[in-house]
A and B are shown apart, each in its own frame.
Chain A
């Protein structure tokens, strides 16, 4: 197992001990993107991604030319008016910026379809607001079976491309929420397994230097199998047909929602259909 990427707040003092590590940085302002990338580079870190969270619509954000070559994940509450974004679309596409919108806002589902059709990778972030499950199912179908090539719409693209009938599918890494891929550092360098753990003060180490091999860290090992708590708690999710592709994530923080079980089951059915189709295609290609 390779060492997880270390996700830290934007503080150059934190970067120095991260030499040789994969590093992701969370910045507050778009203006800080380039500086953060340079600082990681100067400290000898390998930049994985710069993450920006903004409360401004995507259309209101400046996307300067010097973002070119920097992997950016941009969390915005909404797309904004298309007319204000039209000039920026090419940069979003060229710079391979991944745009994240909350799934609980129905307009964002439409925005994902628009942006993906123009080649911009979009990710829906499931939060406390319940999505419109019917519209989400339509979008999932478009993401998996859209007749014309388009950019990935996550998490559906990941599901479709990584699904295997015999295994559970965890797509938390898309949202930097999977300890196999990401460890989270706070401003003092303490290590948590997730952003949630960071917020709640659930640290597994006081400093990254004390985790030479994550697999030897007890807290880490427990965190890897956090999904098992659903079974220990007899959570309704464990009876859901779509469990193996959801692992409780559609419910956000393990909450069970009335519409999500049906959606997860439908998604699983479509993903299985997509998987079968790909199997048929590759068999055909071999013959």
Chain B
């Protein structure tokens, strides 16, 4: 929705077009991402507009924003119930990923103001991650009793930090180690895409199910739309097969197009990892065999 470059901000015309496009597709959910979407000078106005058009809006934010912007959010958006408007605030462990000066205080101010509308998110990019701070934040700021947990994925044609295949089980085991805290505080662990089914023990699977319901081990297009109306399958595949939203008639058309891309990636190598080829769970469709972003071939497409 908004990058630091003012020319890369979504326009009102495009917001109306996207809203029409989704409504025509009978899709009434929209997520606003960035960069940092709250940087957009008309963030509050555009969000109100989408809410007025009947959308359920999810905003992915760092929580770091000017005090004036936070005051706007509080004044204009909190009239909507958390069922209609939700913030997902990705939080970092202050010890492992130290914030820049003043950032921690800003995030605290955001969570104080909008805690009941906020689900904390945590992105795992190292195997020795620590989650304790998030449980403190959930209690302190009255956040949703749910944590969105993602594993950092490789971005095609870029050199970023991510969890390697051989480390995924370690990550799952470490996450499971927080079981007492999840249970004590009744916090749901909500897993994003990319976790492979085979790395979970039956005991772990049962526990996750009991706490948060079924886990999807699939990998499909999430569909990101850029301010210039470019679309791509999902952030890790942002450099692969970009198209313009104007080329499509509905979100179902966009999904079908990127499902073809996923199929193409999987045609030769069915799963992202060596063991996926013979895996019965992949064959039976219960696991996608890791995210397609893990395929080495992606960068060549």
* Residues of A near any B CB (own CB < 8 A): 81-83, 86, 89, 110, 113-114, 117-118, 138, 146-148, 150
Contact = CB atoms under 8 A, between A and B. Distances in A.
What 6 pairs between A and B have smallest CB-CB spacing? A82-B45, A148-B20, A86-B48, A110-B12, A83-B76, A83-B45
Nearest to A148: B20
Interface of B: 11-13, 16, 19-21, 23-24, 42, 44-46, 48-49, 52-53, 72, 76, 249
27 contacts: A82-B42, A82-B45, A82-B46, A82-B49, A83-B45, A83-B48, A83-B72, A83-B76, A86-B48, A86-B52, A89-B52, A110-B11, A110-B12, A110-B13, A113-B12, A114-B12, A114-B49, A117-B19, A117-B20, A117-B53, A118-B52, A118-B53, A138-B13, A147-B20, A147-B21, A147-B24, A147-B249
Contacts, number: 42
B13 A113 contact: yes
Contact of A148 (B11, B23, B46): B23
B76 A117 contact: no
Given A83-B76, A86-B52, 20 more contacts: A81-B45, A82-B45, A82-B46, A82-B49, A83-B44, A83-B48, A83-B72, A86-B48, A110-B11, A110-B12, A110-B13, A113-B12, A113-B16, A114-B12, A114-B49, A117-B20, A118-B49, A118-B53, A138-B13, A150-B20
Contacts of A82: 42, 45-46, 48-49
Nearest to B46: A82
Contacts of B45: 81-83
Question: By DSSP majority rule, is chain B's interface helix, strand, loop, or mixed?
Answer: helix
A247 to B, nearest CB: 29
A117 B16 CA distance: 7
B63 to A, nearest CB: 21
A86 B42 CA distance: 13
Nearest to A118: B52
A170 to B, nearest CB: 30
A253 B52 CA distance: 38
A114 B21 contact: no
A86 B85 CA distance: 15
Nearest to A82: B45
B24 A148 contact: yes
A80 to B, nearest CB: 10
A146 B44 CA distance: 25
B16 A114 contact: yes
Contacts of A113: 12-13, 16
Nearest to A87: B79
A90 to B, nearest CB: 9
Contacts of A110: 11-13
A147 B52 CA distance: 19
A86 B76 contact: yes
Contacts of B24: 147-148
